[in-house]
A and B are shown apart, each in its own frame.
Chain A
């Protein structure tokens, strides 16, 4: 009975004035948000037209048709920029390292935490591991600079000068990701832990009867059961591979590591807003977004081809 009601609810309705009148309250409840969505989300998308125009502060006020169309000039300018190649390498380097180490760390964290048998201690560990997730990047940067700077806790611990925050090398990519893992590992493990909690316990009992030891059970049951979850999250994260946050990079870096800290979104800010070349900045943002969607679709396709769960 209840089910058929639900089916009726999901069934497609035909447009009619009577229906609109019946649902006028729902319409009134949603229209303000629709307007908000259009203003704050879709107008910036419309702003992509600026990528094909020459837009400077003086010409911004003009209507779109009065500005000069320049075709793909902004993209060419962006790709041939002095620091574009390095920026691209940094972005990819940081996100690939982050994707691999972040996923591995969170999965291992979840696997091991699941095996931990002291319940109280397990709860405390989880609560503590969420703490850094809720702390802002400004605070994290303020702390990280103290820990990683010359003479900070890490240097003192290893009793040498490691120049972690002052060597102009890809070392900075690793520092950023270590901090990221420290901040987000416990939080990212939530999803894996809930996936693990959903595994049928009879599987473990059957494996035990068959003589599988603890590690074999972890590997063959726990890990293979959460594989679909891992794949789905990986696909989603691949989609944002080029969207390495500007905030984090800006806060953690300093002038000494600048060359290896610059990422695409920051580059868009520096060129677009810093030097007032709006068209160029928009072009970089558009490039990021479009490549992100393409990567997402490719990853999704590959996952489907090798017989894994797909996102869509």
Chain B
């Protein structure tokens, strides 16, 4: 946009004039620098605590550079069985749940994009309605635990949220944007609808599927309520973090401490180490998918 014009000053005017002319730009830069700081400070703070000596942390928790550097908190987390298993559980549900969800969403999204399908309107309506009206917590809880008996079963992590209506709409809107001639050509070649979906649509949908995959993966990785309600015997990293936070069960076993590390371990430091372990995978993924999800969000907003 034309805001660039104010930045592009001629070289022959004095520094003071430049500053005066760009006062608002400088003000904005300062504001956004401040916003970046308050967004990142908590994470840096946590990182510093997780890398700091637990005894030293008790003095005060406000620092962003470790005062007494140590890896003992992380070593402790990864050598404890009751912390390692939840970590693997989180990984398992993310890596199993995400592909299943993405394929399912792509499939139903394609069917709902086919306006010539006789039941298109009805099925779309049935899906959209559930975005506005839901049974509520208690009927859902009863369905999972009393009717379907999914308690403490891995399926409870996959099945109930296998497709999100919002993501179906994203995929459908994306397919709507593709030229219909492609499908038509495949039809003339005698491909059936499944083949068209598999051979023509899927390869073209990569951008939107990347977005949707990110949403599902983040959802799986971050999910806490389903463990809390249905599967406490299959704890995930998020659930363990919750337990430690509530100090319901603190897994500090003094025996293990002396075996693995020379340092003592405190609940606070372990909590912060787990917080970092739970944050890093997201940090590694989302910046690279940024252009996809920003585009995806925009499609969704237009079509909603």
Q: Does B193 contact A (CB under 8 A)?
A: yes
Stretch at the interface among B77-85, B122-130, B250-258: B122-130
**A125-B137 in contact given A130-B286, A147-B42 (Cβ < 8 Å):** no
Complex Cα gap A40–B161 (Å): 9
Query: Closest B-chain residue to A281, C-beta based?
Result: B138
How does the 8 Å CB contact mask read for B147-174 relative to A, with 1 for contact and 0 for none? Answer: 1100000000001101100000000000
Q: Which of B73-124 contact A (CB under 8 A)?
A: 104, 107-108, 110-112, 114-119, 123
> What secondary structure prevails in chain A residues at the interface with B?
helix
A-B contact count (CB 8 A): 277
Please tell me which one of the listed residues A5, A45, A128 contacts residue B134 in the complex, with CB atoms under 8 A apart: A45
In contact, B2 and A201 (Cβ under 8 angstroms) = yes
- Between A143, A214, A239, the greatest number of chain B beta carbons within 10 A of the residue's beta carbon is seen for A143
Stretch at the interface among A87-95, A96-104, A110-118, A164-172: A110-118
Please tell me which one of the listed residues A28, A116, A130, A143 contacts residue B275 in the complex, with CB atoms under 8 A apart: A143
Which residues of A sit under 8 angstroms from B40, Cβ to Cβ? Answer: 128, 131
Query: Closest B-chain residue to A254, C-beta based?
Result: B246
Query: Closest A-chain residue to B161, C-beta based?
Result: A40
Min CB gap B132→A, angstroms: 6
In contact, B286 and A9 (Cβ under 8 angstroms) = no
* B-side interface residues, number (CB < 8 Å): 96
Which residues of B sit under 8 angstroms from A156, Cβ to Cβ? Answer: 60, 62
Q: Does B71 contact A (CB under 8 A)?
A: no
Please tell me which one of the listed residues A13, A232, A282 contacts residue B138 in the complex, with CB atoms under 8 A apart: A282
In contact, A131 and B2 (Cβ under 8 angstroms) = no
Interface size range of chain A in the complex:
35 or more
Please tell me which one of the listed residues A30, A44, A113, A232 contacts residue B119 in the complex, with CB atoms under 8 A apart: A30
- Between A36, A239, A296, the greatest number of chain B beta carbons within 10 A of the residue's beta carbon is seen for A36
Q: Does A53 contact B (CB under 8 A)?
A: no
Min CB gap B45→A, angstroms: 7
Min CB gap B191→A, angstroms: 10
Complex Cα gap A23–B196 (Å): 13
